[in-house]
Amino acid sequence: MDRSTKNTQIEEFHEKFGKAQAAFLTGYSGIEVGSMTEIRKALRDSSVELRVLRNTLAKLAIKDTPYEGLAEHFKGPIAVALSYSDAASAAKTLTKYAKDEPNFKLIVGALGEKVLTTDEIKALSELPSKDELIAKLVGLLNNIPASFVGVLSALPRDLVYALSAIRDKKEAEGN
Interval 64-88 mean pLDDT? 87
pLDDT of 112-142, one tens digit each?
888 888 898 898 888 887 788 888 888 888 8
Say if residue 24's pLDDT is above 90.
yes
Q: Clarify whether residues 65 and 102 are in a common domain.
A: yes
Q: Clarify whether residues 96 and 145 are in a common domain.
A: no
Domain range for 166: 128-175
Q: How confident is the model at residue 165 (pLDDT cuts 50, 70, 90)?
A: confident
Interval 75-93 mean pLDDT? 88
Q: Clarify whether residues 123 and 149 are in a common domain.
A: no
pLDDT of 30-46, one tens digit each?
888 888 888 888 888 87
- In 144-154, which positions are buried (b, 16+ CB within 10 angstroms) versus exposed (e)? eeeeeeeeeee
Least confident segment among 65-74, 78-87, 139-148: 139-148
Q: Clarify whether residues 120 and 138 are in a common domain.
A: no
Rounded to an integer, what distance in angstroms lies between the CA atom of residue 51 and that of residue 61?
13
Rounded to an integer, what distance in angstroms lies between the CA atom of residue 59 and that of residue 4?
17
Q: Clarify whether residues 24 and 82 are in a common domain.
A: yes
Interval 56-79 mean pLDDT? 88
Give me the number of domains the chain comprises.
Answer: 2
Rounded to an integer, what distance in angstroms lies between the CA atom of residue 152 and that of residue 158?
11
Give the CATH number for residue 35.
3.30.70.1730
Q: Clarify whether residues 80 and 145 are in a common domain.
A: no
Q: What are phi and psi of 77, to 5 degrees?
A: -70, 115
Q: Clarify whether residues 17 and 60 are in a common domain.
A: yes
Q: Clarify whether residues 99 and 150 are in a common domain.
A: no
Contacts of 63 (CB under 8 A, 6+ apart): 14
pLDDT at position 25, please? 92
Per DSSP bridges, beta strands 78-83 and 22-27 are antiparallel
Q: Clarify whether residues 111 and 66 are in a common domain.
A: yes
Which among 19, 6, 175 has a CA at the least distance from the CA of 112?
A: 19
Boundary of a domain, candidates 127, 144, 164: 127
